[in-house]
Every structure is written in structure tokens, then in C-alpha cells.
Amino acid sequence: MTATLLAGCLVLATGCGTNAPPAERASTSVPQKPPAANPVVSAPVTNTPGSDPKPVKPTGDAINVHKIRWTKAKGVSKGKKVQLTWWSGVEPCTVLDRVKVKETAKKVTITLYEGASPKAKNVSCIMIAVEKTTTVKLKKSLGKRKIVDGAKS
């Protein structure tokens, strides 16, 4: 019985992924030269070229929350706000939970927190990257203060 099972598995394995007629797929001979394989390129799916990052707002109700690093930060609205950009997953599997801002005389530390939406239960989460952005208000204009990523510390 083991030999029959092994022979069946071998027939199935050699026939997978081919367009050959059934008689050729059942062959157990090993080709002398393996066919050229098409390389599979794995890269994150991103926003379309030239498109802006997706604007998001904190939900405040995420689960499994953790810090996430941002990639860009720039002062906007005459330095009264900071626009942050980062790479993330798709909603509802990955949402912005909250943004923590700590201001001192010399720097502004901004920390992003992400997690899964409670709506993500029983949802299949695809693994692609999406560029997102959010804007936070400052208590005092940015001026010459340095913007620091709170997730790095």
C-alpha cells in the first residue's frame, strides 16, 4: 500500500503546473535538462506611481496596538501642523489607532500607533503595502524645532 501511495504522489507531483496531455503528465521519467524557470519577483503593492499617500485619521479603537515608524515629516500650515507619511497595511487589518505628540523647546517627538480594527475579525488580511499620511496639530508653531520619530526610541 505504501508503494501505491508513493507512486500516486509521484504522478501527482510530476503533473502539477504543466499543460502537457494527461499521458505525458503521468510519466515518471526525469528530464535531462530542467526547463528554464520564470523568476518570481516579490515586491510590495504600492499606490499607483505619482499618486499621493492615502490620508487617514486615528480610529482610537484598534486592537494589538504597536508603535510604527514614519518615513517623512514636514511642517505645513505655516508650521502649525506636521504632515507624516509612512508605509502600512490595508484597512481594516491595519489602522492608525492614535498619534502621540510631545513638544519641548528643541524638538517635537511624534509617535504613530497602529493596530487592527475590531471589524477585522474573520477577515483575510492581504500582505501589501500602502503609503499613508496623517496631519497633526501642534500646540506651538514648529519653528526651528527638530521633528523626531518616537517609534525609533
The domain segmentation of the chain, as residue ranges, is 1-29, 54-152
- Across the range 110-139, mean pLDDT stands at 94
Q: What angle do CA 74, 77, 83 make, to 5 degrees?
A: 30
Pick from 89, 106, 94: which is nearest to 148 by CA? 106
pTM exceeding the 0.85 threshold for the entire prediction: no
**DSSP-assigned beta bridge partners for residue 136:** 82
pLDDT value at residue 125 = 87
- Across the range 91-120, mean pLDDT stands at 96
pLDDT value at residue 122 = 86
pLDDT band with cut points at 50, 70 and 90 for residue 50: low
pLDDT value at residue 68 = 98
How far separated are the first and last CA of the chain, in Å rounded?
60
Q: How many residues does the chain have?
A: 153
pLDDT value at residue 121 = 86
Q: How many CB atoms lie within 10 A of CB 116?
A: 20
